[in-house]
C-alpha cells in the first residue's frame, strides 16, 4: 500500500497461548490483510513464536515519524522505554496491571514490577496520541490518569488456536459421565482459585458427587500460592480437583470440548479472554 504509514506493534513479551499474544497476532493478521506493513517488536518471546517477532532494539533507526506504534502496555519493560524514545506516533493499548497488593507474601519481585509498571504508565500521557483500553474498565482507568483522548479497542476475536484439530490425549481422560467444571488462567492470587475450589466443594458435596474441577494454567513462579491451594483442597478433603498446568493450544481445544461449565471467580481482569473462548467453544 504505497504512501501508507507502517503500523507496528511493540510489547514486552509475546507468549504462547497468552491472551495478549493471541490478540497481537490477530491484529497483525488484520493489518497485513488490509495491506499495511506490520511487524511485532518484543523484548522476549516464547521460543515457538520467536520467528514472528523482531528484537525491540532493532526499532532504533527503523521507525519513521509517520509510522504508527501500537504499544501494548501491561507492565513496564525495556521494550516500552525504547518505544517511548522513538519518533513514531504512539497508540497505547492498556491491558491493565494487576494491583501489586495481590502478590504480597507470594511473589515479591512481581510486587515491585507491578508497582513500577503502574508508575511508569503515567509517563505516557503526553507521549501517546491515543490511549485505548481493551475494556471500558481499562479505558476509565486511563482517563483517570490523565490520558486523552481515550477509547475502547475491542479484543480482536482470533480463535485460530482453537480451530485446529484438538489433541484428545489429555481431554479423553475426562470424557465420561462426570460434569466437568473448568477454569483457564494463570494460577495467581487475583484470580481467586481458592474461591473456585470452595464453590466446587459445595457443589460436589451437596449437589453432584459425579463432578470434577479442571484448572488449566501455568503456576510457574507461584509455587507458594499453589501449595496454599493444595493445602485448602486437603483440608476440605475434596477429590477430583486437577491442576493441569500449561497446555498446548490443541490440548486446550480438547478440554473446552469436554467441559460442561466455565467457572471464574477472579477479582481483577483486564478482559478475561478465556471467558470469550468458552462462549466460542460451547
Q: Residue 157 pLDDT > 70, yes or no?
A: no
Higher pLDDT, 38 or 275: 38
What are the tens digits of pLDDT across the range 57-99? 999 988 999 999 999 998 778 898 999 999 999 999 999 999 9
Share of residues in the chain with pLDDT > 90 (%): 75
Share of residues in the chain with pLDDT > 70 (%): 98
Q: Residue 28 pLDDT > 50, yes or no?
A: yes
**Secondary structure E strands in the chain:** 7-14, 40-45, 54-55, 68-73, 89-94, 128-133, 150-152, 179-184, 211-216, 241-245, 261-262
- Give the model's pLDDT for residue 1: 46
Q: Residue 2 pLDDT > 70, yes or no?
A: no
Res. 201 pLDDT band, cuts 50 70 90: very high
Mean pLDDT calculated for residue range 114-141: 93
Same domain, 142 and 27: yes
Res. 264 pLDDT band, cuts 50 70 90: very high
- Overall number of domains in the chain: 2
Same domain, 243 and 202: yes
Same domain, 144 and 29: yes
Q: Is residue 2 in a domain?
A: no
Final residue of a structural domain among 129, 158, 187: 158
Q: Residue 282 pLDDT > 80, yes or no?
A: no
What is the CATH number for 117? 3.40.50.2000
Same domain, 13 and 153: yes
Q: Residue 174 pLDDT > 60, yes or no?
A: yes
- Give the model's pLDDT for residue 3: 66
Same domain, 34 and 148: yes
Look up the pTM and report it: 0.82
Mean pLDDT calculated for residue range 148-159: 82
Same domain, 107 and 171: no
Mean pLDDT across the chain:
93
Q: Residue 268 pLDDT > 80, yes or no?
A: yes
Q: Residue 158 pLDDT > 80, yes or no?
A: no
Whether the CB-CB separation of 219 and 243 falls below 8 Å is answered with yes
Final residue of a structural domain among 99, 132, 158: 158
Same domain, 201 and 227: yes
Alpha carbon separation from 215 to 17, 116, 155, 188, 241 (Å, rounded): 15, 30, 24, 12, 8
Mean pLDDT calculated for residue range 119-131: 95
- Tracing cell 483486564 back to the chain, one arrives at 270
Same domain, 27 and 151: yes
Same domain, 152 and 197: no
- Give the model's pLDDT for residue 258: 97
- Closest by alpha carbon to 96, among 56, 136, 44? 136
Number of Cβ within 10 Å of residue 51's Cβ equals 7
Domain, as residue range, for 62: 7-158
Same domain, 38 and 148: yes
Same domain, 146 and 168: no
- Classify 164 as helix, strand or coil: coil
Q: Residue 184 pLDDT > 50, yes or no?
A: yes
Same domain, 11 and 151: yes
Final residue of a structural domain among 98, 131, 158: 158
Mean pLDDT calculated for residue range 125-135: 94
Q: Is residue 1 in a domain?
A: no
Amino acid at each position: 500500500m504505497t504512501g501508507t504509514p507502517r503500523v507496528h506493534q511493540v510489547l514486552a513479551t509475546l507468549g504462547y497461548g497468552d491472551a495478549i499474544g493471541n490478540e497481537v497476532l490477530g491484529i497483525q493478521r488484520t493489518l497485513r490483510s488490509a495491506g499495511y506493513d506490520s511487524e511485532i517488536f518484543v523484548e522476549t518471546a516464547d521460543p515457538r513464536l520467536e520467528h514472528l517477532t523482531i528484537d525491540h532494539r532493532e526499532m532504533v533507526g527503523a521507525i519513521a515519524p509517520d509510522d504508527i506504534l501500537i504499544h501494548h502496555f501491561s507492565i513496564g519493560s525495556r521494550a516500552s522505554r525504547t518505544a517511548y524514545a522513538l519518533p513514531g506516533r504512539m497508540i497505547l493499548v492498556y491491558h491493565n496491571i494487576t494491583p501489586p497488593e495481590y502478590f504480597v507474601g507470594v511473589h515479591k519481585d512481581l510486587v515491585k514490577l507491578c508497582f513500577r509498571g503502574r508508575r511508569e504508565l503515567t509517563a505516557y500521557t503526553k507521549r501517546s496520541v491515543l490511549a485505548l483500553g481493551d475494556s471500558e474498565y481499562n479505558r476509565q482507568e486511563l482517563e483517570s490518569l490523565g490520558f486523552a483522548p481515550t477509547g475502547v479497542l475491542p479484543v480482536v476475536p482470533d480463535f485460530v488456536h482453537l480451530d485446529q484439530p484438538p489433541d484428545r490425549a489429555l481431554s479423553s481422560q475426562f470424557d465420561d459421565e462426570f460434569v466437568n467444571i473448568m477454569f483457564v488462567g494463570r494460577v495467581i492470587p487475583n484470580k481467586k482459585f481458592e474461591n473456585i475450589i470452595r464453590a466446587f466443594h459445595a457443589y460436589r458435596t451437596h449437589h453432584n458427587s459425579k463432578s470434577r474441577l479442571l484448572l488449566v494454567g501455568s503456576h510457574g513462579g507461584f509455587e507458594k500460592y499453589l501449595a496454599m491451594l493444595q493445602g485448602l483442597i486437603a483440608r476440605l478433603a475434596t477429590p477430583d480437583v486437577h491442576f493441569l498446568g500449561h497446555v498446548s493450544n490443541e490440548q486446550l481445544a480438547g478440554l473446552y470440548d469436554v467441559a460442561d461449565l466455565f467457572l471464574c471467580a477472579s477479582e481483577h481482569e483486564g478482559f478475561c479472554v478465556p471467558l470469550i473462548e468458552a462462549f466460542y467453544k460451547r
